[in-house]
């Protein structure tokens, strides 16, 4: 009889252990803007890798820059019973109904890199736009302290694009006021789109000629498009060209001296950190304890975790990208 009681007792312990283990396993859905957005794809894959290491299931959906498709994908994930939605949104406004419905169902929501407007959710992970603008302007002013600047900013409906422009304008303002810098042209570029940026730069040259000293673009596709326009006028290496995301083709152009710089957001560090923050939330931790700031999205002050980025120039490629394992020299040369 005692043996039966003991076996029953251990059976209950084992059952409790299994139940608790199962309770600690959750499903996380990641809504990526597009398969061709290399940064979001890479960081999403690292996030999924770390979440699986932590015992969670991950489902990834890619919307190909179609906000209606992303909305439908989000509702599909809710129907599948995900516990968390991590959203790198195509459109920060149109995705808000999904966020509100997710929260009403008890699903945690994280806005990844792109702010979601007019809704309340658990966490916003983003870069430091003030620091990023500083990197763009610092290198432009160092190499071209005087002259004509063209500013090809990000998407006006993306909070990052809007904030970057504000910070760039603020940094350049005293140089403009002194007469050292002339802003020849200044515009937002919808979707951070390379083709559109190339078109805009060509229009500038058609209207004002080739007396351009710096083209500050806020994404690598835009920077690469600027390089191709400048190539037609033998201006490569003469004009400062900036970019962001350190995609391989941009890094190659930096190495070749055709682009001046790009910015690296450490993919594995970001993906892993996001996964670990999600895991902490699922375990019941008050994530505001880890916040670096809060961001108002027009409806609420969202707990925000800002992540640092690194400048990539021809001089820093080895330190930033090779030693970190992001690329090898055979990839770049």
Q: So what's the pLDDT on residue 294?
A: 92
Q: How confident is the model at residue 95 (pLDDT cuts 50, 70, 90)?
A: very high
Q: So what's the pLDDT on residue 51?
A: 97
* Helix 194-208, helix 220-231: angle, nearest 10: 40
CB neighbour class for 145 (10 Å; exposed up to 12, middle 13-18, buried from 19): exposed
Look up residue 207 and give its DSSP letter: H
Minimal CA–CA distance to 102: which of 114, 89, 113?
89
Provide the CA 44 distance to its chain's centre, in angstroms. Answer: 10
Ordered structural domains, the chain, with CATH: 2-121+267-308 (3.40.50.2300), 129-265+312-332 (3.40.50.2300)
295-311 residue pLDDT tens: 999 999 999 998 888 99
Q: So what's the pLDDT on residue 289?
A: 83
- For residue 84, what are the β-bridge partners? 28, 108
Residue 180, pLDDT > 80, answer yes
Q: Give the mean model confidence (pLDDT) for residues 146-157.
A: 95
For residues 212 and 150, what is the distance between their CA atoms, to the nearest angstrom?
7
Give the CA distances from residue 102 to residues 71, 108, 122, 174, 252, in Å, rounded to whole numbers and listed in that order. 12, 7, 11, 46, 42
Q: So what's the pLDDT on residue 127?
A: 85
Q: Give the mean model confidence (pLDDT) for residues 208-227.
A: 97
Minimal CA–CA distance to 314: which of 248, 262, 266, 247?
262
Q: How confident is the model at residue 227 (pLDDT cuts 50, 70, 90)?
A: very high
Q: How confident is the model at residue 17 (pLDDT cuts 50, 70, 90)?
A: very low
CB 142 within 8 A of CB 175: no
In degrees rounded to 5, what are phi and psi of residue 294? -130, 150
Q: How confident is the model at residue 5 (pLDDT cuts 50, 70, 90)?
A: very low
Which DSSP helix (H) or strand (E) runs through 12?
A: helix 2-23
For residues 142 and 137, what is the distance between their CA atoms, to the nearest angstrom?
8
Q: How confident is the model at residue 2 (pLDDT cuts 50, 70, 90)?
A: very low
CA neighbours within 13 Å on the CB side: how many for 32? 22
Q: Give the mean model confidence (pLDDT) for residues 68-87.
A: 98
Q: How confident is the model at residue 10 (pLDDT cuts 50, 70, 90)?
A: very low
Residue 70, pLDDT > 80, answer yes
> Over the Cα atoms of the chain, what is R_g?
23
């Amino acid at each position: 009889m005692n043996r039966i009681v003991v076996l029953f007792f251990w059976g209950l312990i084992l059952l409790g252990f299994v139940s608790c283990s199962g309770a600690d396993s959750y499903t996380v859905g990641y809504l990526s803007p597009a398969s061709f957005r290399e940064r979001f794809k890479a960081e999403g894959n690292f996030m999924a890798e770390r979440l699986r290491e932590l015992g969670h299931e991950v489902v990834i959906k890619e919307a190909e820059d179609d906000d209606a498709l992303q909305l439908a994908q989000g509702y599909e994930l809710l129907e599948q019973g995900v516990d968390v939605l991590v959203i790198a949104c195509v459109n920060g406004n149109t995705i808000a109904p999904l966020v509100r419905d997710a929260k009403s169902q008890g699903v945690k929501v994280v806005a990844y890199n792109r702010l979601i407007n007019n809704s309340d959710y658990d966490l916003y992970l983003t870069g430091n736009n003030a620091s990023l603008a500083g990197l763009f302007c610092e290198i432009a002013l160092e190499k071209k302290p005087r002259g004509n600047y063209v500013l090809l900013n990000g998407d006006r409906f993306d909070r990052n694009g809007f904030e970057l422009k504000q910070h760039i304008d603020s940094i350049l303002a005293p140089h403009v006021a002194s007469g050292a810098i002339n802003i020849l042209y200044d515009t937002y570029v919808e979707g951070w789109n390379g083709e559109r940026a190339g078109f805009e730069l060509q229009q500038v040259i058609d209207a004002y000629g080739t007396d351009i000293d710096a083209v500050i673009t806020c994404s690598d596709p835009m920077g690469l498009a600027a390089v191709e326009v400048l190539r037609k006028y033998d201006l490569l290496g003469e004009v400062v060209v900036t970019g962001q995301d350190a995609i391989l083709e941009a890094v190659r152009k930096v190495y070749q001296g055709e682009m001046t710089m790009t910015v690296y957001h450490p993919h594995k560090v970001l993906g892993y950190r996001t996964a670990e923050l999600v895991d902490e939330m699922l375990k019941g931790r008050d994530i505001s304890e880890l916040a670096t700031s809060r961001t108002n999205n027009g409806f609420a002050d969202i707990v925000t975790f800002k992540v640092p980025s690194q400048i990539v120039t021809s001089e820093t490629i080895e330190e930033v990208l090779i030693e970190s394992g992001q690329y090898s020299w055979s990839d770049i040369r």
